[in-house]
């Protein structure tokens, strides 16, 4: 009994001691999880419709692709027209540019409808917009290639730009008469001239409501009849019709007897030494022209020309260039700023080149009925503005079966502001294989041309 009482006492004492032990404190609370993101901002989307219009009426054709791009160029929306010729989009508020191209055939002629609207301002209540498409009848004679930007003269560690040339191409299966083709470029001289384009006021060209387009510096034309066979070309040297590779390896050979030369022999004020010609060039291939501004050479821009060809007989062209009473002086007074008013209806083809190094400063120099879009060119690299192949039309030619060469790799898409031919057809290799090429002709330089890495005549 006594022993049992002792055991109970020990047990009670142990429980009492345990009850007096200090409890282990809870751990300090941590910072806790990061607060989660708040609710996503609500972006209101607006349903808009963009209607295609041509020659004053709705172009009610179903299935025409349309592209809508925001002002920053970061967001692009693709749509397709319904039976009424309108495409529907659902986009946030903002300013957009819309463009569309449609190709078809009418009465045996290739027709392209092309246009854009860069002033689509989407906001509450603004839901309906238009794109006016210019109807372009495919011309026989087009500008196939323009080279004016020069190359690197590595041996002398400098640039070289006396080797410019232009290629005209017969984009059809019938002989083309080029005898009355004249060569011009628009004003201002470069796409990024300081002070901007004085011809643009309130978003429109001053000459847009009139029947002319600027011609600056001078005008060139052929002295003798010129015929271009079907799917063939002629090369015209701008300054030196010589083999430039003899002194500048990176340059081009312009001494082929079939080539033409924009001679200075009829223009006394063009005295620059870069006007040279090889004995191989026939005198019959010397061209003529007129200057109507100060200067010792034709002032074709070597980095961003707005170049075009027109149709006018030489006598009429000469009279136009010499009629000082009709000169335009929007760019300023004095002989250095004379601009000839070339009839817009006489323009045959054009290419708008922008300087790849100055894209943010560039502006258009053609009204939309002549050209929309641009091709960017990097200066002094031997690059050219080369026309894209019309893939569908070229592949449709029965005689091209087995002759077309694909996987074109001559573009500059790997460069900043570079580009390539979206058709994937290597035009020059295909021509060498006996194919006939039909080139794109939509009057949109951005869709019709790309920046070619090496001049097509450089073998």
pTM of the model: 0.80
* 190 within 8 A of 355, measured Cβ to Cβ: yes
Same-domain pairing of 127 and 145: no
Q: Please determine, for residue 27, whether its predicted confidence score (pLDDT) is greater than 60.
A: no
Q: Please determine, for residue 7, whether its predicted confidence score (pLDDT) is greater than 80.
A: no
pLDDT at 104: 84
Average per-residue pLDDT in the chain?
91
Q: What is the CATH number of the domain that holds 75?
A: 2.60.40.10
259-292 pLDDT per residue, tens: 999 999 999 999 999 999 999 999 999 999 999 9
| 49 belongs to a structural domain | yes
Token output for 30: 């941590």
Q: Please determine, for residue 177, whether its predicted confidence score (pLDDT) is greater than 60.
A: yes
pLDDT at 3: 40
pLDDT bin (cut points 50, 70, 90) of residue 20 is very low
Q: Which one is predicted more confidently, 284 or 73?
A: 284
367-420 pLDDT per residue, tens: 999 999 999 999 999 999 999 999 999 999 999 999 999 999 999 999 999 999
3-state SS of 150-163 is: CEEEHHHCEEECCC
Secondary structure (DSSP) of 34-97? PPPP-PPPPPPEEEEEEEEEETTEE---TT-EEEEEETTS--EEEEE--TTSEEEEEEESEEEE
Instruction: Report the 10 Å Cβ neighbour count for 306.
Output: 28
311-342 pLDDT per residue, tens: 999 999 999 999 999 999 999 999 899 999 99
| 393 belongs to a structural domain | no
pLDDT at 32: 58
Same-domain pairing of 306 and 157: yes
Please count the structural domains in the chain: 2
Q: Which domain holds residue 121?
A: 45-137
229-268 pLDDT per residue, tens: 999 999 999 999 999 999 999 999 999 999 999 999 999 9
* 292 within 8 A of 341, measured Cβ to Cβ: no
Same-domain pairing of 96 and 150: no
| 101 belongs to a structural domain | yes
């Amino acid at each position: 009994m006594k022993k049992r009482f002792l055991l109970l006492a020990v047990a009670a004492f142990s429980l009492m001691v345990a009850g007096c032990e200090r409890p282990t404190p809870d751990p300090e609370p941590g910072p806790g999880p990061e607060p989660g993101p708040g609710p996503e901002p609500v972006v209101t989307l607006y349903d808009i419709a963009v209607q295609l219009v041509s020659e004053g009426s709705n172009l009610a054709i179903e299935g025409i692709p349309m592209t809508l791009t925001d002002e920053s160029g970061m967001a692009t929306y693709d749509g397709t027209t319904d039976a009424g010729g309108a495409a529907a989009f659902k986009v946030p508020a903002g300013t957009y540019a819309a463009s569309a191209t449609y190709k078809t055939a009418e009465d045996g002629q290739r027709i392209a409808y092309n246009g854009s609207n860069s002033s689509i301002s989407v906001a509450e209540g603004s839901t309906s917009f238009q794109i006016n498409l210019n109807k372009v009848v495919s011309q026989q004679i087009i500008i196939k290639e323009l080279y004016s930007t020069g190359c690197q003269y590595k041996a002398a560690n400098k640039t070289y730009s006396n080797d410019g040339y232009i290629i005209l191409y017969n984009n059809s299966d019938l002989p083309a008469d080029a005898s009355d083709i004249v060569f011009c470029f628009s004003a201002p001289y470069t796409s990024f001239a300081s002070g901007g384009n004085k011809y643009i006021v309130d978003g429109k060209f001053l000459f847009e409501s009139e029947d002319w387009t600027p011609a600056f510096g001078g005008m060139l034309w052929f002295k003798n009849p010129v015929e271009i066979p079907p799917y063939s070309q002629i090369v015209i040297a701008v300054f030196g019709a010589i083999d430039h590779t003899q002194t500048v390896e990176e340059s081009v050979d312009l001494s082929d007897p079939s080539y033409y030369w924009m001679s200075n022999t009829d223009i006394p004020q063009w005295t620059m030494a870069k006007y040279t010609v090889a004995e191989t060039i026939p005198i019959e291939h010397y061209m003529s022209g007129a200057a109507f501004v100060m200067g010792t050479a034709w002032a074709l821009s070597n980095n961003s020309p707005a170049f075009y060809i027109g149709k006018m007989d030489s006598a009429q062209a000469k009279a136009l260039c010499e009629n000082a009473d009709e000169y335009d002086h929007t760019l300023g007074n004095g002989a250095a700023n004379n601009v000839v008013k070339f009839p817009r209806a006489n323009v045959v083809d054009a290419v708008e080149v922008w300087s790849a190094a100055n894209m943010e400063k560039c502006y258009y120099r053609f009204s939309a009925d002549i050209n929309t879009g641009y091709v960017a060119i990097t200066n002094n690299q031997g690059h050219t503005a080369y026309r894209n192949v019309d893939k569908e039309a070229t592949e449709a030619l029965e005689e091209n079966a087995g002759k077309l060469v694909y996987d074109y790799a001559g573009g500059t898409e790997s460069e900043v502001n570079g580009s390539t031919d979206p058709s994937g057809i290597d035009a020059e290799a295909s021509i060498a294989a006996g194919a006939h090429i039909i080139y794109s002709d939509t009057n949109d330089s951005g869709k019709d041309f790309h920046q070619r890495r090496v001049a097509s005549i450089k073998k």
